[in-house]
Structure 1
Amino acid sequence: MRSTSRSMCRMVRLVLTLVLVSACSASEYEYLSWNYGKPPQCWDIPDDLRLCHNVGYTQMLLPNLLEHETIVEVKQQASSWVPLVHKNCHPGTQVFLCSLFAPVCLERPIYPCRWLCEAVRDGCTPIMEAFGFPWPEMLTCDKFPQDEVCIAMTQPNATDATRPTGYSPICPPCDNELNADAMLEHMCASEFAFKAKIKEVQRENMDRKVILQKRKKMVKQGNLKKKDLKQLVLYLKNGADCPCQQLENLSNQYLIMGRKVDKQYLLTGIHKWDKTSKDFKKAIKKLKTYKCPAFENVF
């Protein structure tokens, strides 16, 4: 059993290129409960599991560590997290999520380290809040191991120098201007969308207040009523100081997206209305038929 444990540790180091916190001896494996109806089995990670198909290993355990028992269920639930990985809010985001959605196929499940969860949570929560989503209860970091064997990506004392190349602290709803995939992701995180010009932008505490001109052309109405549309004011959450080129040029027309959170309307996406752009035309064409992930967390 001790040699098997050592083999498991070598496999994780080799396949995941991760850090295993704590020594690898049989007595130190204290796994969280594994009380599912089905015994865990190895499955090939399908190419259309976009969150994890390139994570660094090819097989995963089912049921996974979030109690999903089928590949179909995993794909459905994992798809809503792909946009968050694209935001580059923390370099360990994909590793952390895939260790739960598609755990590496070993004899026993190995959970992510608590500090990795906390680092990803702290890095990504501002991004999620910009779209009106809280850190979900199913990813509460306190339930993950702290001193036992666990999956990590960088050392616990890692600094911002570990952020991926190209990381930029921009306003999440403003990034990837005229990129079709980003526009569709923003649309999926939004309840409504319309074409409009901006009248004024004001700073309000840590947010930016976006006041629109009266004339608006609906693209996606959602639950937004006409009376609400007339006096609509949007807020760029926690965006008082982050750069947003779209909010600096008030002469352009924009595709503006938003959603209501509590009693406030949040700006969830803004892209220049530019019919000369191939990406813009592609996104607008696909909006009516594009199938968004049908789950609550879309970033």
Structure 2
Amino acid sequence: MRSTSASFWGMIRLAVTVALLSACSASEYEYVGWKSDAYNAGRSYGKPPQCIEIPDDLRLCHNVGYTQMLLPNLLDHETMGEVKQQASSWVPLVHKNCHPGTQVFLCSLFAPVCLERPIYPCRWLCEAVRDSCTPIMEAFGFPWPEMLTCDKFPQDDVCIAMTQPNATEATSPTGNPAVCPPCDNEMKTDAMLEHMCASEFAFKAKIKEVKLEKMDRKVILQKRKKMLKAGNLKKKDTKKLVLYLKNGADCPCQQLDNLGNQYLIMGRKVDKQYLLTGIHKWDKSSKEFKKAIKKLNTYKCPVFETVFK
């Protein structure tokens, strides 16, 4: 995961307190606006928050730009075990680089910076991250979760930001414009395992035909398939299995242009459609690929269902 760069942050727009200023310089956060009254939409903790070190295995936030966090956090997680479990589901989204503020936004909630009172992310930051990252989440069959509804975050009170609200971001709403999200063919074990974790089934197969269907791409597979992870996929379902690359009509996917290769193909059922959630060239000469295949059925994935609902 990339380190949060100090270049992301602007100046502190209004002074608050000496404690807040010192914490801000340590964390590289920008605090937008200030009112003397406490943010009345903030949560009430059952027990006083403690300031603790961000552990190295909290992958989402361990290098976010500060070293200590409040627990309980701003998502009502009261134990570090719960924080780690929930936060791990978001690591793949940060890796997709759908918006430069994704990690900052998420970590302001999962691992809030230690201050005298809770400081929430700005509503416009939430909206910017949501609008840029939702197409990628939808490609994998996940909606923007209710727990991150942007209307609940402050507009005028002190809040955590990255750039000024009227700044324009040079970010494609579908993430990396050079590739469709499920077609990221980086032959790295971690990248392949992230696709596997967003999938219910996986198999080895060739592609017969690819068609455009509205804003999606329809992927028709050859009949012969080697099942690697069946999930809830029944044998009868595999015979005429058709996968859809969600919102993939315009983004390039090299794998779908070369119908002669064999591929590791992953997917999941969403409503009545089977979505293509990952496709990687079947390459046993790659050590990274072989390692991912070996871990396919034993790797412990984050529980996405507890987060994306």
TM above 0.5: yes
1:128 to 137, 141, 149: 137
- Per-residue deviation, residues 3-30 of structure 1 (Å, max 9, x unmatched): x94224313431232321114x6x2542
Q: 2:280 and 2:43 mapped to 1: Cα distance?
A: 46
2:56 to 34, 47, 65: 47
How many residue pairs are counted as aligned between the two chains?
Answer: 291
Deviation of 1:31 (Å) = 4.6
2:110 to 101, 111, 115: 101
* Partner AA of 1:280 in structure 2: F
**Aligned equivalent of 2:92:** 83
**Aligned equivalent of 1:7:** 18
Is 1:156 paired with 2:158? no
Identity %: 80
Q: 1:34 and 1:11 mapped to 2: Cα distance?
A: 24
* Partner AA of 1:259 in structure 2: R
- Per-residue deviation, residues 39-77 of structure 1 (Å, max 9, x unmatched): 111111000000000001111001100000011110011
* Partner AA of 1:130 in structure 2: A
Q: 1:242 and 1:11 mapped to 2: Cα distance?
A: 45
- Per-residue deviation, residues 177-221 of structure 1 (Å, max 9, x unmatched): 322111100000000000000000001000000000000000100
Deviation of 1:36 (Å) = 2.4
Runs of 4 or more above 4 Å deviation: none
Q: Give the alignment of 1:68-217 within 5 angstroms.
A: 68-161=77-170, 167-217=176-226
2:30 to 7, 11, 19: 19
Q: Give the alignment of 1:278-289 within 5 angstroms.
A: 278-289=287-298
RMSD: 1.7
* Partner AA of 2:80 in structure 1: I
* Partner AA of 1:88 in structure 2: N
Assess if the C-alpha contact under 8 Å between 1:28 and 1:148 holds in 2.
no
Q: What TM-score, normalized to structure 1? A: 0.93
Query: Structure 1 162/186 Cα, relative in aligned 2: closer, same or farther at 3 Å?
Result: closer
2:243 to 234, 245, 254: 234
Gaps of 5+ in 1: none
* Partner AA of 1:65 in structure 2: L
Q: What TM-score, normalized to structure 2? A: 0.90
Q: 1:11 and 1:29 mapped to 2: Cα distance?
A: 19
Q: 1:39 and 1:148 mapped to 2: Cα distance?
A: 22
**Aligned equivalent of 2:271:** 262
Partner secondary structure for residue 119 of structure 1:
helix
